[in-house]
Amino acid sequence: MDENPSFYCEPAKQIPVLDHADVVVLGGGPGGIGAAVTAARAGARTILVERSGSFGGMWTAGILGAIMPSPFVRGLFQELVGKYQQGAGWYQWGEEYGHGGTYDVETARMAIDDVVTSSGVIPYLYTAFADVVREGNRLRGVIVECKDGRRAIMGDQFIDSTGDGDVSARAGASYDHGRESDGKTQPMTMIFRIDGVDNDNISRWWHEQPECRQAWNDAKARGEVSSPREDVLAFELPRKGQWTINSTRIIGKDGTKVRDLTDATLEARRQVREIMRFFRKHVRGLEKAELLDTAPQIGVRETRRIHCDYTITVDDILKVPSFDDCIARGSNFVDIHNPEGAGTTLIYPPKGTWYEIPYRSIRVRGLDNVLIASRCVDSTHEAHAAIRVTQQVMSIGQGAGMAAALCASQKLPSTRALDVAKLREALREQGAFV
């Protein structure tokens, strides 16, 4: 027997069925929440599978802390923000492109729990997607790994909200990866939170951009800071004295490879230590700041973009055409973090307008019962840089959840057989802006 085999042949065995549902949603981030809650409220028996111990994805496990202005994302997202405000967990800011805000992560976690459980969703935490059960152009089920062992979850309709498109890729769907020229992806980031901030002094320092940028660049020139990011991005949180920091930058790593994710996480935490030393030494208002926590989950901006029936282009973002099968709207700008180092490209759609996400861009090509509800929606590298933000992903999830529920209730042979006018009408009834 080869002592270092390249493959291991797993013996065939029967896998117990853990559960079954009309709609099975894989991934409990904003897109998965939007999909599962919407499907359940539409009357579908809905399962939501999440590998970690809480729903929310980057909102919670990623301690993102900040949600960019989103005047044209409504429905479930607005409902959740309302719950954050009720729990004193929301600090609103921004005017030019609509209101954004920062939120308290624990308030968000509890609010999401309430919405998921009250909607009738069947939740499975600590349950990781492993494989698919495919017959022809349909999935019959998915294989998961959990404390019970290897199990199957069977269903009628499936929604891939894994972010990286793991379900679709495992089912054999084709995809693009990174930018078209060389396959390089936007860098990863580890968010971290600090406490003990002198808010008055830090606010003045951050708004004095020449001083702020000069101190950062001088520290990089001296070798005190190695993050390739060109600036410090920070947001004041609802709890006094706490801020969230988005200034680590990990380049050249692939978020679909475990070795790269591991190395990126370790490198990010090393960068956090450097940045904290820089803060205490050079930033007014942070002399006594303490590291509160780093995100349990590193932030991955871009990996796979699954091929569906339509590819959203940057013209669809900037020229804002209408789609008769629109299932979500948004206005976030094109925000490309340089895959190779410093620099961030920002391109804004016309002020006061919105772009549209068509239903055909979430129907996975070659599969009849799989929809996308995450950043891996079919788009170009540039368009993806606008669509990928969490609140817009949640609105896409609402569209996917409603579509899956309708397909299941009508027993349609394919997601492509769904009457889009009825889909849009049902979404409006749940408060979506379509």
CB atoms within 10 A of CB 313: 14
CATH node for 17-182+302-429: 3.50.50.60
- The residue-averaged pLDDT of 130-159 equals 98
Highest mean pLDDT among 55-69, 89-103, 410-424: 410-424
Output the pLDDT for position 155: 98
- How far is C-alpha 269 from the chain's CA centre? 21
> Would you say residue 97 has pLDDT above 60?
no
In this predicted structure, the answer to whether residue 96 has a pLDDT above a threshold of 60 is: no
The pLDDT of 177-200, averaged and rounded, is 96
pLDDT at 210 over 80: no
The alpha carbon of residue 1 and the mean position of all alpha carbons in its chain are separated, in whole angstroms, by: 44
Determine how β-strand 138-146 pairs with β-strand 149-160.
Answer: antiparallel
- pLDDT by residue (tens digit) across 106-131? 999 999 999 999 999 999 999 999 99
Q: Please state the three-class secondary structure of 346-407 as a single string.
A: EECCCCCCCEEEEHHHCEECCCCCEEECCCCCCECHHHHHHHCCHHHHHHHHHHHHHHHHHH
| Residue type, position 355, single letter | Y
pLDDT of residue 115: 97
pTM of the model: 0.96
pLDDT, position 94: 63
Question: What sections of 222-352 are H helices per DSSP?
Answer: 258-282, 314-318
Rounded to an integer, what distance in angstroms lies between the CA atom of residue 128 and that of residue 145?
5
Average pLDDT of the residues of the chain: 94
Mean pLDDT, range 41-63, rounded to an integer: 97
DSSP string, 102-152: EE-HHHHHHHHHHHHHHTT-EEE-S-EEEEEEEETTEEEEEEEEETTEEEE
For every residue of 29-53, DSSP letters joined together read SHHHHHHHHHHHHTT--EEEE-SSS
How far is Cα of residue 230 from the mean position of the Cα atoms in its chain?
23
**Band of the pLDDT at 85, cuts 50, 70, 90?**
confident
Going by their DSSP bridges, the two strands 46-49 and 17-26 should be labelled as parallel
Among the residue ranges 86-100, 229-243, 286-300, the one predicted with the least confidence is 86-100
Per-residue pLDDT, averaged over 43-50, amounts to 98
- Cα–Cα nearest to 143, from 10, 8, 15: 15
Question: Long-range pairs for 417-421 at CB < 8 Å and ≥24 separation?
Answer: 418/359, 420/324, 420/325, 420/359
Residue 259's Cβ-count burial label (10 Å; 0-12, 13-18, 19+) is exposed
Residue 208 pLDDT:
67
- Work out the percent of the chain whose per-residue pLDDT is above 90: 85
